[in-house]
Structure formats: C-alpha cells, structure tokens
C-alpha cells in the first residue's frame, strides 16, 4: 500500500494560516456586533407635516411650532425626521390626505366645522394664536377705500364680495351672514382675482395681513388694508394627526404638554429634560412671528363687527369669544 505524506508546514506558513483564521474570526464578530447595533438603534420617526394653503408667515410659524413640539420629546422618544409638505391643494383635500395617512400632521380650522372625517384623526386644540386668527382685516383695492369707510354693520358689508381660498371653512361664516363668497384655487390666486374685480376684499387674520400685503405690494401697488374696520369670529385652530400615525400622535401630544406648560401631564424630570433640549415658550414663538399680537387694541372710532360662528360647538365659540373680549376689548 502506498501512503501519501503531506508536506509539513513551515513556521512562516503556520503563522500566516493562524493570522488568517484570527482575522476571519474578528471580521465575523464585527459583523455580528454591527447587526446587533442596527437592530437596537430605532429608525428615526418620519413625520410629514402639511403647510399647504397658508400664507408665508403662517407657514413659517407652523414650521417653528411643529419643530419645537416634536423636538421636545427627543430625549423621551428618540430621533425623528420632520418634513414639511407645501403643495397646491384645497383644505378639504389636505384633510382627506391626513385621514388616509398620506400626511401625518397638519394645522387646520376645518376640523371643528366639518361633520365627517374627524374620527380618523387625533385633534389637539390649544390657544396657539390667542384667538387672534379670527380677528380679520380686509385687503382691498385703494379705489374702494372710501366705500369701505362707510361700513358700520354686517348689512353694509353685504354690498361687497369676499375672496376666500377653496375649502376655507370660514367661507361658511360669511355665507351664513349672506356675504357673497368667491373661491380661489390657492392663496396666491386671490390677489390677481382681486385686481380683476372678481371680488372686493380678502379677509385675513390681523396676524398675517401686513406680511401678506407686503409680499404682493410690488406686483399690486394699488392694494391697501381697509382703514378702521375689523371683523371677529371665533374659529378654533387644531393640530391634526392621522390615526394611521400613532407614534407621531403620541409625540405631538407630549410635546404640546411641554410647550404649553401642562404641569399635570409632564413630570418635573421630563420637563427639565425637554428644557435642556431647547424648549421654546409658546408665547415667545407667537410673538417672534407675529409681534402685532402684543399690541392689539381698538379705538372708539374703529369698527369691530362681532360675528358668530354657528358651525362649531357652543362651548368652543363661547370660550374663544370670551378670551378675545377679556384680552383685547
């Protein structure tokens, strides 16, 4: 019989073989550690917030507000990725997208005035704008200034047509008072329509009317704000979160409690952690974007038409109106 004798390994060969096995073992261990690390590190929570349909400064305020709300819970809930969606869409379309989960969060006055769909979202109501969203001034053509100075009652206002964005829920308030409303497809479309006399005034919140007018003044130099006339109606503003995004809803709820100092709901430890992470005061945030909110007042020669909003609950209407009267009348 023949036997095959394998050649003996030299010391050098033995060294390189052992080194190769060692490196392979270390590589396998690193891969296993990386795998465990990936499994233990949660992916950032992705939140898509809709700002479509609002004027420029309102969008900026929302972006800062939602950013502060979400960031307040970072130490508690972990990392996140916040994206702002700004597309041309009506309020109703945006609400439907939120119901279906295509948009995670948004801000709208419509949920308090809509019969269907609210059960598909979580709604968070706070005094985000201190009831001033419903305090309106009117952008008009300069040539109509004299005519608007004669407005003293809602009957007088019925002589003019209001321009509103498509699906804006407060259109129903004007219609309720028999003020004719003409819809535009988007906020930006309102201004060329006003120039072409499709309607006579654009009612905007006192918080945004100055910046909205300044943004188009170069294109429409004959637009002005109607002098000494204001409208007020109670209109609630909600942050909505799709119920298809429960993690986002939990985080929004927590962040709002921190931002609006709901001490009963947030422990001292949690509040201090949020503050260390850069808590933003809700009033400071409002005044940063809308400094006029600090100085709202009325003189005896100014006209303030107080309108009711029959499309929200009586309790919400009463609360918002009383807040306005208590702070600004």
Angstrom distances, CA of residue 83 to CA of 69, 107, 262, 319: 14, 14, 26, 33
- Per-residue confidence (pLDDT) for residue 272, from 0 to 100: 41
Residue ranges and CATH numbers for the domains of the chain are: 45-129+236-291 (3.40.190.10), 132-233+297-328 (3.40.190.10)
> What's the pLDDT tens digit per position in 66-110?
999 999 999 999 999 999 999 877 767 777 887 777 888 988 886
For residue 101, what pLDDT is reported?
78
Q: Residue 83 has what pLDDT?
A: 94
Q: What is the pLDDT of residue 31?
A: 54
Q: Where are the beta strands (DSSP E) in the chain?
A: 45-50, 80-85, 105-108, 121-125, 135-141, 162-165, 181-184, 202-205, 223-225, 229-232, 238-242, 303-306
Q: Please give the Cα distance from 144 to 149 (Å, whole number).
A: 9
CA separation (Å) from 70 to 17, 279, 318?
A: 54, 10, 30
Which regions of the chain are under pLDDT 70?
Answer: 1-41, 91, 110-118, 262-280
pLDDT at 186: 86
pLDDT of residue 277: 42
Residue among 240, 254, 253 nearest 99 (CA): 240
pLDDT at 65: 95
What's the pLDDT at 88? Answer: 75
pLDDT at 316: 85
Strand (E) or helix (H) holding 171: helix 171-176
CA-closest candidate to residue 69, choices 243, 252, 271, 261: 252
d(CA 245, CA 82): 13
Please report the pLDDT score of residue 274 as a whole number.
42
The answer for residues whose C-beta is within 8 angstroms of residue 237's C-beta and 6 or more apart is 107, 108, 109, 125, 128, 129, 133
């Amino acid at each position: 019989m023949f036997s095959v004798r394998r050649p003996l390994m030299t010391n050098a060969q033995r060294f390189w073989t052992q080194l190769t096995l060692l490196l392979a073992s270390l590589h396998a261990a690193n891969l296993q550690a990386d795998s465990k690390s990936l499994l233990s590190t949660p992916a950032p929570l992705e939140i898509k917030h809709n700002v479509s349909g609002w004027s420029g400064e309102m969008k900026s305020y929302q972006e800062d507000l939602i950013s502060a709300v979400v960031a307040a819970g970072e130490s508690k809930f972990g990392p996140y990725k916040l994206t702002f969606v700004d597309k041309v869409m009506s309020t109703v379309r945006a609400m439907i997208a939120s119901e279906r989960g295509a948009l995670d969060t948004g801000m709208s006055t419509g949920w308090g005035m809509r019969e269907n769909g609210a059960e598909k979202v979580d709604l968070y109501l706070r005094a985000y704008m201190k009831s001033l969203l419903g305090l309106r001034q009117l952008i008009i053509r300069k040539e109509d200034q004299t005519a608007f100075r004669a407005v003293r009652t809602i009957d007088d206002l019925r002589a003019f047509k209001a321009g509103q964005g498509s699906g804006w829920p407060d259109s129903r308030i004007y219609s309720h008072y028999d003020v004719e409303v003409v819809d535009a497809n988007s906020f930006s479309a309102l201004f060329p329509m006003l120039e072409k006399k499709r309607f006579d005034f654009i009612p905007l919140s006192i918080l945004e009317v100055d910046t909205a007018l300044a943004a188009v003044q170069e294109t429409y130099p004959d637009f002005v704000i109607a002098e000494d006339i204001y409208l007020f109606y109670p209109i609630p503003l909600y942050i909505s979160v799709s119920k298809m995004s429960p993690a986002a809803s939990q985080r929004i709820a927590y962040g709002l409690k921190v931002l609006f100092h709901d001490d009963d709901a947030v422990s001292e430890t949690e509040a201090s952690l949020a503050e260390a992470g850069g808590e933003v005061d809700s009033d400071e945030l409002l005044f940063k974007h809308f400094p006029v909110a600090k100085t709202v007042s009325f003189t005896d020669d100014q006209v303030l038409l107080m309108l009711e909003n029959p499309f929200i609950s009586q309790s919400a209407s009463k609360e918002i109106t009383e807040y306005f009267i208590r702070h600004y009348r």
